[in-house]
Structure 1
């Protein structure tokens, strides 16, 4: 049985609605995965995430390896039992940390040597070790170790990273023995068409069950990101899931869905929520703003989430200004609902044959608010 099935396609774009089969249930795609780097989505309980309709969360191999440690998670019965989560879990390889923690690491063809940001201890992770860690903690989807380069990157720097990413994918696949865990390879290549194409084609020859798209949303213009996705939409197999790593803004997600992407993760809903920055159908608002002090309307009049049905902008602003953690939780709750609801509605629109109408309406409302 295939691990992924496309059940509907948009006739005008590359958008598709699908089903990803995992040991912890079916994930309906397009899907947004809240980031639970350290086995927790900040301020939210697993029960609340289920209430929001979240089907899969993301954890990070690098961070879980350092704390609490693989042995602890393994002894707890795996990551799902450790964190009390019944849905799917995708674990990133730590490849992005190779990119973001540049002062603390050294990359070689063999693997990555890094200094812990927690206690300064030194560690060396190979592609094989990263696969073993993800197998032991028991995620549903594991990601091969890859090398992400910054933007802008020179041709040669990107080429070397692609060479390593391909080599590490070969080694990762050879090391992977957990049959009920899906191992995704990562397509790198910065903004170089020839490198993206070569990386994708060499990874396709290895026949992974799914493919992640890395190295985007690192500072490049949105149109350049869409150009890479458009290229890969014509290369990556139509019968396998595609995961765009670390993206992003609602408008980015809808554009990527139209270019054939199925899975997304991003820290924006939780990170912005912690600062009172709220996503709405009319664009982002700052819930800390003084003009909300006596505004007794919901955060988003078009939203039916628990927060918007029960609380006002004035109350949430009061909580934030008073330093009450409930204010952060309510902003985060609403943001996560907004992202989960966005992809859920996009999926429904694809199935109903009206995805372009849905996308245009969302973009028009956003433009109207920005111009007002």
Structure 2
């Protein structure tokens, strides 16, 4: 994997770059649509490629391990072939799902025992077998096994958890480096994850440990779990001051369009979040002028296009009134239209940010966009 920095903004720490893997070039900053179980919900791969056009999507290690199971993926030739996706894929570590299963898991030094949310069966994740699971899934970028702490989090717990994540990282690197070979004829790349909750000294210590690991890229985890946005930005700023500039920085699970712009300004290169697809299925549309709750009665006889910016074809193909009608009668098409719109907007947003970073006026453009997008239409 190769990362090239192409430009830096004059008024912020925003960067434009490119990541090159065996599955192609990823232009940064980038948003990765979430394809939890080998699909981005509500979107055909053809629509994903042609209309939304991301350089990379995300798959979920925990969910893919449970269904369809890695034995199926291995027989298919990996996740790319299984889902007919010939561009980049990143898989998370399963650490966030371990966090979300707090009532049904037990963390030990060896790993995490957890109960499946599907059938109640018990499973055990270790740093080593998580490397093997992701090897069989076959993502281009894989994540080290970590523990995502909740918010709020006791300082002692956060500290102990951080050190455990570091020890798990060492085991991941050992296994990934010495005991695995790619299965499908292309390279895989391991990113470690910074933890430390919202404690500045822990974040600093974790970032230093992760930077010293010398990985090809680095991730920031344990944020966007309920903390105020200001805390998220503060922790990101602390971490990015330490993580090497010549490696891509991935902020996991973030976020709203405003969160993404603010973190780009702090030097983050990669993002993922279920928000554009999940909110779409609930009738919330993101636009450059603010957010729309398409279920509101005010749109009942509004026959104007969904979005005059026409980022994706659905924006002018359908009216607000028609889309509201689809939601009111619970037609699946409404959710599909909203999903294509939201994902298209997110990709437009990061690509527009990239243009302004290269042009040198990102900070000014970002301030304008944040004000506009903070409206309810």
- Residue in 2 aligned with 1:275? 282
The equivalent position to 1:250 in structure 2, one of 254, 257, 260, is 257
Shift of 1:264: 0.3
- Residue in 2 aligned with 1:307? 314
Q: Do the aligned residues in 2 keep the contact of 1:6 with 1:239 (CA within 8 Å)?
A: yes
* Residue range with higher mean Cα deviation, 355-364 or 262-271: 355-364
- Residue in 2 aligned with 1:141? 141
The equivalent position to 1:208 in structure 2, one of 205, 215, 234, is 215
- Residue in 1 aligned with 2:164? 164
CA distance in 2, matches of 1:299, 1:159: 47
What CA deviation, in whole Å up to 9, does each residue of 1:212-255 have, x standing for no partner?
10010111111111111111121000000110000000010000
- SS at 1:205's partner residue? helix
Superposition map of 1:10-89 within 5 A: 10-51=9-50, 52-89=52-89
CA distance in 2, matches of 1:247, 1:311: 29
- Residue in 1 aligned with 2:240? 233
2:227 equivalent to 1:220: yes
Q: Do the aligned residues in 2 keep the contact of 1:148 with 1:214 (CA within 8 Å)?
A: yes
- SS at 2:213's partner residue? coil
Q: Do the aligned residues in 1 keep the contact of 2:299 with 2:320 (CA within 8 Å)?
A: yes
- Residue in 1 aligned with 2:118? 118
Q: Do the aligned residues in 1 keep the contact of 2:149 with 2:161 (CA within 8 Å)?
A: yes
CA distance in 1, matches of 2:229, 2:330: 35
What CA deviation, in whole Å up to 9, does each residue of 1:47-75 have, x standing for no partner?
11111121111111111111110000010
- Residue in 2 aligned with 1:6? 5
- Residue in 2 aligned with 1:100? 100
CA distance in 1, matches of 2:23, 2:316: 31
Q: Do the aligned residues in 2 keep the contact of 1:131 with 1:144 (CA within 8 Å)?
A: yes
Q: Do the aligned residues in 1 keep the contact of 2:7 with 2:357 (CA within 8 Å)?
A: yes
- SS at 1:151's partner residue? coil
- Residue in 2 aligned with 1:131? 131
What CA deviation, in whole Å up to 9, does each residue of 1:95-129 have, x standing for no partner?
00111111111011110000111111111110010
What CA deviation, in whole Å up to 9, does each residue of 1:233-289 have, x standing for no partner?
210000001100000000100000000000000001100111111111121111111
RMSD across aligned positions (CA)? 1.2
Shift of 1:299: 2.1
- SS at 1:314's partner residue? helix
Shift of 1:304: 3.1
- Residue in 1 aligned with 2:152? 152
TM-score where L is the length of structure 2: 0.96
Q: Do the aligned residues in 1 keep the contact of 2:155 with 2:199 (CA within 8 Å)?
A: yes
Q: Do the aligned residues in 2 keep the contact of 1:22 with 1:140 (CA within 8 Å)?
A: yes
Q: Do the aligned residues in 2 keep the contact of 1:185 with 1:212 (CA within 8 Å)?
A: yes
Shift of 1:365: 1.9
Q: Do the aligned residues in 2 keep the contact of 1:281 with 1:300 (CA within 8 Å)?
A: no
CA distance in 2, matches of 1:109, 1:181: 26
Shift of 1:352: 1.2
Q: 1:178 to 1:351 in 2, by over 3 A?
A: farther
Shift of 1:134: 0.5
Q: Tell me the number of residue pairs that the alignment of Structure 1 and Structure 2 aligns.
A: 369
CA distance in 2, matches of 1:123, 1:308: 44
Q: 1:199 to 1:304 in 2, by over 3 A?
A: closer
CA distance in 1, matches of 2:293, 2:373: 16
Shift of 1:318: 1.2
CA distance in 2, matches of 1:282, 1:11: 26
CA distance in 1, matches of 2:245, 2:229: 24
Unaligned runs of 5+ in 2: none
CA distance in 2, matches of 1:152, 1:299: 39
TM-score where L is the length of structure 1: 0.97
